[in-house]
A and B are shown apart, each in its own frame.
Chain A
Amino acid sequence: RKEVEQDPGPFNVPEGATVAFNCTYSNSASQSFFWYRQDCRKEPKLLMSVYSSGNEDGRFTAQLNRASQYISLLIRDSKLSDSATYLCVVNPRSGSARQLTFGSGTQLTVLP
């Protein structure tokens, strides 16, 4: 079983749609959680951290359910520029070695 699992997609949605991505992780001791965005042939970039209470950044909302070991990302009012691969990322342990564990990514294409 992979440490971080995501639906690979692809998700093809029209502009203005709301789309949700889900992710599960296997290590219950995981300490911190993130969503990164990766454009084609580019490096991953931090989209947002995910907090236990849930957090929102503009059109993006992230949720964490520690009991179910489940993370989600909701994108409202999708834009063409949101087209990218979204990577669910977990730091499996505390301490100074922040070893990020990535899912395989979910590909999103927003269509005009």
Chain B
Amino acid sequence: ETGVTQSPTHLIKTRGQQVTLRCSSQSGHNTVSWYQQALGQGPQFIFQYYREEENGRGNFPPRFSGLQFPNYSSELNVNALELDDSALYLCASSSARGGSTDTQYFGPGTRLTVL
């Protein structure tokens, strides 16, 4: 196992609601990246957090936001949920050293269903 944990495992929400997903990174890792994986697709990069700051963002609207805490755990918040937000949300933990990051290790994901 990677040591990356995510909660909750599954979640059902309705359109317009807000959701918070959580991720605990692997011990010794200071970088967390979030990805959205729709059914039948590869994961898509949402954003990355390094030392509590956003450090790169993919093509997602501002209603997708995040936080990283001093212990390097992270949250993904999604406001005004839409049906298309139904997906597997993955966080990936890695260690940034010398200006680059090494291998990303994925957590088991949170499966979000929006009705």
Contacts and interface: CB of A to CB of B under 8 A. Distances in A.
Contact of A98 (B33, B43, B44): B33
A55 to B, nearest CB: 15
Contacts of A45: 2, 106
B113 interface: no
A100 B56 CA distance: 11
B66 interface: no
A102 B103 CA distance: 14
A45 B70 CA distance: 26
Given A87-B42, A105-B42, A98 B104 contact: yes
Nearest to A32: B100
Interface size class of B (residues with CB under 8 A): 20 to 34
Interface of B: 2, 31, 33, 35, 40-45, 48, 50, 55-56, 58, 90, 92, 94, 96, 99-101, 103-109
Given A96-B101, A97-B48, A100-B45, 13 more contacts: A42-B108, A43-B107, A46-B104, A89-B42, A95-B99, A95-B100, A96-B50, A97-B101, A99-B33, A99-B48, A100-B104, A102-B42, A103-B42
